[in-house]
Structure 1
Amino acid sequence: MPSRTKIAISGVIGTLSLIGAAAVATAAVSVLVARKVLVPPSRREEDVVIRSVDLDAGLVVLDATADSRLPGEYSFWFSRESGHARFGEIVASTPTTVTRRILGVDSGDLAAARRGRLTGWFYLTPSDLGVPFDDVAIATPLGDAPAWLIPAADSSSTRWAIHVHGRAVRRPETLRAVPVFREAGFTSLVVSYRNDNEAPRSDDFRYALGDREWLDVDAAMHYAVSNGATQIVLVGWSMGGATVLQALTRSAVGDRVSGVVLESPVVDWIAALDFQVRLRRLPVFVRSFVIVLFKSRWGRIFTGLAEPLDIDRLDFVTRAKELDRPVLILHSDDDGFVPSTASRALAIARPDIVSYEAFEVAGHTKLWNYDRVRWEGAIRDWVAKLPDGTAQREGRQRA
Structure 2
Amino acid sequence: MVLSPSEVTESSSAMTPPWVKWTAFGAGMGVAASTAVLAATSGLAVYFARQIVTPRRERDENLEILAVIDSPHGLQVILPANEDTTVPGTYGLYWNRGEGHARIGEIRSYVPREGTVQRDVEQVYSGDIASAVRGWWSGAIHPSPSAAGFPQEDVEIDVENGTAPAWLVRSLDDSGTWAIMVHGRGAQRTETIRGLGAARRAGMTSLLISYRNDGEAPYASDGRYGLGLTEWRDVEAAIRYALENGARDVVLFGWSMGGAIALQTADLSPLKRHIRALVLDGPVVNWVEVLAHHARLNRIPAQVGRLGQWLISNAAGRTLTGLAAPLDLRSMDWVSRAEEIRTPVLIVHSERDEFVPVGPSADLAEKNPDLVTFVRFPQGGHTREYNVDPARWEDTVAGWLETAIGRTRRPAEHR
* TM over 0.5, shorter chain: yes
Q: CA deviation at 1:325?
A: 1.3
Alignment of structure 1 residues 108-127 onto 2, 5 Å: 108-127=127-146
Structure 2 residue corresponding to 1:81, chosen from 68, 84, 98 = 98
Counterparts of 1:347 and 1:13 in 2: how far apart (Å)? 48
Query: C-alpha separation between the residues in 2 aligned to 1:360 and 1:388?
Result: 28
From 93, 96, 102, the equivalent of 2:110 is: 93
What is the TM-score of this pair, normalised by structure 1? Answer: 0.91
SS at match of 1:265: coil
Give the total of aligned pairs: 378
Which residue of the other structure, out of 46, 50, 72, is the alignment partner of 2:61?
Answer: 46
Q: Is the counterpart of residue 182 in structure 1 residue 200 in structure 2?
A: yes
Tell whether 2:310 aligns with 1:292.
yes
Output the amino acid matched with 1:282. I
Partner of 1:217: 235
Over the matched positions of the two proteins, sequence identity in percent amounts to 43
Find the partner of 2:383 among 357, 365, 368: 365
| Aligned residue identity for 2:132 | A
Q: Pick the structure with greater CA Rg.
A: 1
Q: Choose the corresponding residue for 2:47, options 32, 41, 57.
A: 32
Q: Answer yes or no: is the 8 Å Cα contact 2:315–2:325 preserved in 1.
A: yes
Whichever residue aligns with residue 148 of structure 2, its letter is L
Structure 2: distance between partners of 1:332 and 1:132: 30
Deviation at 1:388, TM superposition (A): 5.6
Structure 1 residue aligned with 2:21: none
For the aligned residue pairs, the C-alpha RMSD in angstroms reads 1.6
TM-score scaled by structure 2?
0.88
Residue number in structure 1 paired with 2:183: 165
Q: CA deviation at 1:21?
A: 2.2
Whole-Å separation in 2 of the counterparts to 1:241 and 1:228: 25
**Separation in structure 2 between the aligned mates of residue 284 and residue 20 of structure 1, nearest angstrom:** 18
Match of 2:354 in 1: 336
Show the counterpart of 1:191.
Answer: 209
Give the equivalent residue in structure 1 for 2:4. none
Please give the alpha-carbon distance, in whole angstroms, between the structure 2 residues aligned to 1:281 and 1:12: 23
Q: Which ranges in structure 1 are unaligned for 5 or more consecutive residues?
A: 1-10, 390-399
Question: Structure 1 CA distance, aligned partners of 2:104 and 2:289?
Answer: 33
Q: How far apart are 1:12 and its partner, in Å? A: 7.8
Cα deviation 1:319-355 (Å, max 9, x = unaligned): 1111111111011122111111211111111111111
Asked whether 1:105 is paired with 2:124, we answer yes
What displacement does 1:168 show? 0.8
Residue type at the aligned position of 1:94: V
Give CA deviations for 1:57-97 in whole Å, capped at 9, x if unaligned.
31111111111111100000012221111110101111201
Which runs of 5 or more structure 2 residues have no equivalent in the other structure? 1-25, 408-415
The 3 A distance-change label for structure 1 pair 26 and 333 is farther
Instruction: Look up the match of 1:152.
Output: 171
Structure 2 CA distance for partners of 1:293 and 1:46, relative to 1, 3 Å: same
Mapped to 1, the partners of 2:50 and 2:209 lie a distance apart of 25
**1:6 alignment partner in structure 2:** none
Secondary structure of the corresponding residue to residue 172 of structure 2: coil
- Does residue 130 of structure 1 match 2:162? no
- Output the CA distance in 2 between the equivalents of 1:15 and 1:332: 48
Q: Which amino acid aligns with 2:280?
A: L
On the 8 A contact 2:57/2:215 being kept in 1, the answer is no
* Matched letter for residue 84 of structure 1: H
**Which residue of the other structure, out of 250, 259, 266, is the alignment partner of 1:232?**
250
SS in structure 1 of the partner of residue 179 of structure 2 = strand
CA positional deviation for 1:387: 3.4
Q: 2:287, 2:397 → 1: CA distance? A: 25
Higher relative contact order (CA 8 A, sep 6+): 2
